[in-house]
Amino acid sequence: MARMKAVSHEDRLTLVEHLDELRTRIVVCLVVFATALALCFWQNHLLLEIASGPLPSNHKKLLTFGVAEPFTTTLTVSTYGALILCLPIFLYQAYAYVLPAFSHSERRVILPLLLAAPLLFLAGVAFSYFVVMPAAVKFLLNFNDSQFNVQVRARDYYSFFSTTMLAGGVIFQLPLAILAVTRLGIVSVAQLKRNRRYAYLIIAVIAAALPGVDPISMLIEMVPLLVLFELSILIARAFGTPREAGGMARPSTQEQ
C-alpha cells in the first residue's frame, strides 16, 4: 500500500517504496488539480472578469476568431487559475516526499522557506496585477493609437495576462533562491555584494525577457527585482552560510 504520511529522517525505504510513494503523491496532485480546474471552469465568468480588469472600459469586449476559440481560451484561463490555487498543495507534496533526506535541524530551516514560497508567489501575482498590467496595457493600447484600429483578441490578451501573472510570481521567489544557494555554500554573501553590478545587469536582462514587451513594464518589473535582490542579501547575511549557522553542514548521526 502506498505511503502518504511523511517519513522521518531515520526511516529507510526501498526503491520500490520510494517510487510507490512518488506515484501516490503525483496522483494526489493530479486529483487536486482536476478538482481545482473543474472549480475554475465552473467559475470561468468570474475569472475572465478578473483577468480583463486591467483593460479600459472600451476594450472589455474581446475578439475571438473561429468556432472553438471561446472554449479553448476559457479553458486556458481556467488552467492557469487552477495552477495558482494548487501551488500550496504541490509544494507540500514535494516537501513531504524529500523530507527523509533532511535532518531535524535542516527541516527547521526548510519549513519557513516552504511557507514563504506561496506567500511570495501570491505577492508577485498581486504586484503584476495591480502595478505591471495596468501600466503595460495603458502604454501598449495608446501607442500610436491614431495610426491603428486597436482591437484586442481574447486569446492573445489572456495569454499575455496569464504569463505575466506567473512570471511575477516566479521572480518574487528570488529571495528564496539566493538564500538556498548561500545556505548550500554555492555562493557567499560577500560574493553577492562584490558582484552586485553583474547581478543588476542580469536583472535587466531578466526584466527584458519577461512577457511585457514595452519599456514601461520592463522598468516596473526591474524595480521589485532590484529590491528583492538587496533584500535577499540582507536575509542571507542574517541566516548565514551553513558553516556560520552551524546546522546545515553538520552531518546527521546516521551519516557519521
pLDDT in tens, 127-162: 888 988 888 888 888 877 778 888 888 888 888 888
Return left, alpha or beta for 144; rule: phi > 0 is left, psi -120 to 50 is alpha, else beta: left
The span from the CA of 59 to the CA of 230, in Å, is 39
CB atoms within 10 A of CB 193: 13
- pLDDT(214) > 80: no
CA 105 from centre of chain: 26
pLDDT at 30: 94
The span from the CA of 217 to the CA of 136, in Å, is 5
- pLDDT(7) > 60: no
Q: Is 252 helix (H, G, I), strand (E, B) or coil?
A: coil
- Give phi and psi for 63, each to the nearest 5: -90, 145
The span from the CA of 149 to the CA of 155, in Å, is 18
Q: For 9-37, what is each residue's pLDDT tens digit?
A: 455 666 677 788 788 889 999 999 999 99
